[in-house]
Structure 1
Amino acid sequence: MKSISELIPGIQIFTKYKGEWLGKDLIAGLSVAAIALPVGIAYAGLAGLPPETGLYSSILPVVAYALFGTSRQLIIGPDSATCMLVSSALLSVAVAGSSEYRGFSTLLAVVVGLLCIAGGLFKLGFLANFLSKPILNGYLNGLAISIIAGQLGKFMGFKIETSGFFRMMFEFISKIGQTHFYTILIGALTFIFLRFFKKHFKSLPAPLVAVAGGIVVAWMFGLDQKGVTVVGHVPAGFPPFVFPDLISGDTPKIFMESIGIVLITFCSMMLTSKSFASKNGYTVNANKDFVALGISNVLSGFTSGFVVSGADSRTAVNDSAGGKTQLVSIVAAITMSLIAILFTQSLSYLPIATLSAIIISASIGLFNFEYLKRLYKVSPPEFRLAVLTSLSVITIGVIPAVVVAIGLSVVKLIARTSAPTDAILGKVVDTGVYHNVELFREAKTFEGLLIYRFDAPILFFNSDHFTSRVRQITSEQEDNVRYLLIDAGSIINMDITAADTLISLVEELRSRGIGFGIAEIKGNLRRMFTDSGLEETIGSQNIFETVEVGVQHFLKSKQ
């Protein structure tokens, strides 16, 4: 049983299922379906795909994650950020609305899924931490602006032909005189309704009520006869199975876009998953969730759907409704299946402006200005990174902005590691604890001894900075320093370049009459010290288990 539960983590919770959870899970499942229906249809349009694909993407993929994922609250499905990525990727290889566009959408889902499965099997779950929260926040803010800009034409009743934020806005302004009265009226009323309900009746499925209201109003007043664009025919029935040709010449066309989609969808999903797991007192497994996301996407592609990810709004609805286990996802999927089989005819009257209002309202929820304000106050450099990421999404597009986001993450990491924090240490009286003398006035230094801590690995790109800092602090106290003791507790890694640099530094210090010792060496550094000749240069008698042992060694040598 252990091997099965390892392979299918979702079944573990059902072996311990409590009867008291059933009522809450059923209610939460119906609540999730109530949101998934209108949002799925709306996001399908955002991806440039027929409305039924939004339903198809909310059935088997949801069940797959429930079985193979490790989060009890996370709901998989169409997501606004993912749909923008999908649209951007597909438009690079096909014309929107064409049969090729639709075919590429299923192929894209399968390719993304296979990459996710490979990522999980090769233990690449750590990529969830690769895009920092400030950069992801900036990405989502920029995405929200792009999504809203792309929906304005549908909201007003005319077609925007161009792409790219600035071109779209220019065309929007030039065509504003073509605004269709009934279209903007129903769009505006829907938007006002959604914002009002979000503020005053958070527990109600406002998008579902908006869709039902839009259908009834359009049918009663014959809005499709008055120039209001409606969804039109939606095929009834269970999702048809398709088998995208993975070995065709088309796969390489979308491979690079798939990598960007994998990174963004996985990082975004894990951010949501970890947040709700922490709130509910359990942990999630990133590698298993990577595989689960992959299986969900492969099934989405095979059942005529498109790329799916963690759905923030539906996950929040699940949690607020009291959902306890993955049964919520299964109940929601069954409900969506019944809707796809029995109730699609009614959806044909749904005004496109209603869906645009739902998308615009949901996109506003992507903005997190409070977090930006906090960033500005607490960490201005990270605030600038967030803003730069937002501007990248708006100016160069969604997929290229993924590359920019990755680049910014790498630059941020290198910048922090190349010139990390450091400190001269002193001993707090009557303890064996050593602290930064600038922060702890009671920390005592020892005559002739300089204790130095470097708060990062020493690698090829920061080894010169390390030696420069050592030269600086020893020169400032040249007459008083007889021995330099390095606290290596934060030096978790070292490469050969750094080892060679350190050998030269030790020899230089000794030529100046300054001894060299090092303490708190991590186990994985021992081999580098031995193989590189660094241990021989320093001398085993100058390598200490703790800083305190090193200090006592120095004090005895003075006697």
Structure 2
Amino acid sequence: MNPAKNPRRSFHLSLFQGILPLNVKQIPLEIVAGITFAAFAIPEVMGYTRIAGMPLVTGVYTILLPMLVFAIFGSSRHLVVGADSATAAIIASGLGTMALPESPQYIAYASMIALLAAILLLLAGILQLGFLADFLSHTVLIGFLTGVGIRISISQLSGIFGIPQGAYGTPMQTASFFPDLALINLPTFLVSLSVIGIIVLSGRIGNKFPSALLAIFGAIAASWVLDLSSYGVTILGTFPGGLPHLSFPQVPLSDVPKILDLSVACFIVILAQSAATSRAYAMKFSDTFNENVDLIGLSLANAVAGISGTFVVNGSPTKTEMVKSAGGRTQLTQLTTVLTVLMVLLFFTRPFAYLPRAVLSSMVFLIGLRLIDIEGMTALHKQRPVEFAVALITAMTVVVIGVEQGIVIAVVLSIIAHLRHSYRPLNLLLVPKGGGTMRTIPLEKGQQAVEGLLIYRFGSNLYFANENRFTEEIIELAKKNISLKWFCISATNIGDIDFTAVEALKKVYTQLQKLGITLVLSEVVPPVMNELDRDGITGMIGKDHIFESVQDVIEAYKNSIDSSR
């Protein structure tokens, strides 16, 4: 199937789109991939849970009901839903000053954020707003995730060294870290180094090796045998198992506005990151998906996260790549993972009580480092200095001010970048190439297509922000070409035109008329033609001066010259 043929913008909800049709021969591979993915996912979500400030078991809950619900209601065969570093960091940045991490009040706030995000996602899906993901540019996502990675990594340094963490916020944590190094707990630091070493070295062996799981089990065994807690190494203690309790989070109605901005920030990240991940893997495997159906699936996944006592879930590129590496090709892999996690929660949670907290700090530290996109930032610096500056501003906002503010900056800068491209489109002149074809040349050359005819191609939709540039360029070209008789606007790139742009066209027509120049149009698309008819432009210019192609314009111009002689 070709993803280009899929009506991704339409809305049609049916169950198990991410599984059906199912290749029977693939089922054993999907089951093995699901069990393998569970081995990766459990320690990973523990790291994300630590970032979010939630009890560890709630992180495991994110790969239970939310993953199950998306596998049923989502459309993507590949997108994996669960806890994610970016949304976890947003939650922690906002709730850290409102409640004590891991406290019942904190959990209630985090669950309510998931419910509010679910409502926003549901509305976006029903209103078919999946296209909004296109407005968060890849450039600002690089900067945003890089900033999140730096912030996360710095926040875990105290846990790695066994230093009490007193300061809040990245600048304060950085400032207080070095003076507190004298308080380092050496056994804790050795545990951290061991974990980092195992994960880094095994990562070089291959991505299919569950290094994080090996590090966790090794640390649990060492903690139990050597009684590491007696050396000042902090361990988790009781790790509750069993299934989540379903209930509505008890948050006072007056507190809901305080967390609404966090929900909006999570919604934006979910929208952009999930759509980008689904799109990338659909193209990779020539599958189809529907962004708006996925929004419904993500909404329901966050709704069950909210009522099961956990936090926001997102379409995770990291987990999606894990499943792909393990051999999973449909949501059947995720259903197998859900069953595996269920068995762990019911029968295998007791050993986690011996897990040193430094292990999780080390894992989160490495997660943060992986988010720092040095390659992407370097490429931007070399190829697009302006976009590098945008990414850098976004990253520094996240690091210095906060994740919540960083996503706002990311959205604003994305919109500015979009407007910048459409405000200053690439406008060109067209001249005959030979054989009936045309070639483009820069405006500066001012070359006419034939003597007395100039063809100007505008490179974007025409609207209020760029109509002034449109008008100025046309009048300037007309005044420079003294011998000009016809001025043709090639409208092949103009897919929309607003009221201000219509008025600009009238102004251009009047100015050219004063200069004794006839305005003609070519390649006008039907929606724009309807607007021109409605606003009287067609009658003003004359239907005989609107052509299907620039070749028709050239021929009509030559005929008019011949007939006037």
TM class, shorter-chain normalised?
over 0.9
- Residues 53, 305 of structure 1: 8 Å contact kept: yes
Aligned-partner Cα distance in 2 for 1:371–1:315: 20
Aligned-partner Cα distance in 2 for 1:28–1:51: 24
Secondary structure, counterpart of 2:253 in structure 1: coil
Give the 4+ runs in structure 1 shifted more than 4 A: none
Check 1:502–1:99 CA distance in 2 against 1; reply closer, same or farther (3 A cut): same
Q: Which residue of 2 aligns with 1:448?
A: 452
Q: Which residue of 2 aligns with 1:525?
A: 528
User: Where do 1:263-412 residues align within 5 Å?
Assistant: 263-412=268-417
List per-residue Cα deviations over 1:9-41 (Å, max 9, x = no partner). 425733x32221012101110111001111122
Q: Which amino acid aligns with 2:483?
A: N
Worse-matched range after superposition: 154-163 or 505-514:
154-163
Check 1:420–1:92 CA distance in 2 against 1; reply closer, same or farther (3 A cut): farther
Q: Which residue of 2 aligns with 1:81?
A: 86
Of 513, 517, 525 in structure 1, the residue corresponding to residue 516 of structure 2 is 513
- Please state if 1:434 is matched with 2:438: yes
Check 1:41–1:12 CA distance in 2 against 1; reply closer, same or farther (3 A cut): closer
Aligned-partner Cα distance in 2 for 1:124–1:161: 42
Aligned-partner Cα distance in 2 for 1:447–1:255: 63
Q: Which residue of 2 aligns with 1:201?
A: 206
Q: Which amino acid aligns with 2:67?
A: V
- Residues 50, 364 of structure 2: 8 Å contact kept: no
User: Where do 1:493-508 residues align within 5 Å?
Assistant: 493-508=496-511
List per-residue Cα deviations over 1:33-74 (Å, max 9, x = no partner). 001111122211111111110111110101111111122122
Secondary structure, counterpart of 1:424 in structure 2: strand
- Please state if 1:541 is matched with 2:547: no
Secondary structure, counterpart of 2:495 in structure 1: coil
Check 1:11–1:136 CA distance in 2 against 1; reply closer, same or farther (3 A cut): closer
Q: Which residue of 2 aligns with 1:29?
A: 34
Q: Which residue of 1 aligns with 2:225?
A: 220
Shift of 1:298: 0.5
Secondary structure, counterpart of 1:517 in structure 2: strand
- Residues 17, 77 of structure 2: 8 Å contact kept: no
List per-residue Cα deviations over 1:501-554 (Å, max 9, x = no partner). 210111111111111001111111123212222222211111112222222111
- Please state if 1:99 is matched with 2:104: yes
Q: Which residue of 2 aligns with 1:174?
A: 179
Aligned-partner Cα distance in 2 for 1:207–1:338: 19
Of 14, 39, 57 in structure 2, the residue corresponding to residue 8 of structure 1 is 14
Worse-matched range after superposition: 530-539 or 164-173:
530-539
- Residues 273, 316 of structure 2: 8 Å contact kept: no
Check 1:355–1:246 CA distance in 2 against 1; reply closer, same or farther (3 A cut): closer
- Residues 451, 486 of structure 1: 8 Å contact kept: yes
List per-residue Cα deviations over 1:142-201 (Å, max 9, x = no partner). 110000011111111122222222111001112111111111110111011111111223
Q: Which residue of 2 aligns with 1:556?
A: 559
Q: Which runs of 5+ in 2 are unaligned?
A: 1-10
- Please state if 1:466 is matched with 2:470: yes
- Residues 108, 250 of structure 2: 8 Å contact kept: no
Secondary structure, counterpart of 1:250 in structure 2: helix
Aligned-partner Cα distance in 1 for 2:237–2:363: 18
**What TM-score does the superposition give when structure 1 sets the normalisation length?**
0.95
Aligned-partner Cα distance in 1 for 2:471–2:154: 52
- Residues 135, 418 of structure 2: 8 Å contact kept: no
Secondary structure, counterpart of 1:450 in structure 2: strand
- Residues 158, 178 of structure 1: 8 Å contact kept: yes
- Residues 273, 315 of structure 2: 8 Å contact kept: yes
Secondary structure, counterpart of 1:486 in structure 2: strand
Q: Which residue of 2 aligns with 1:485?
A: 488
Worse-matched range after superposition: 238-247 or 338-347:
238-247
Q: Which amino acid aligns with 1:10?
A: F
What percentage of residue pairs aligned between the two structures are identical? 29
- Residues 106, 305 of structure 1: 8 Å contact kept: yes
Shift of 1:314: 2.1
Shift of 1:92: 4.7
Q: Which residue of 1 aligns with 2:461?
A: 457
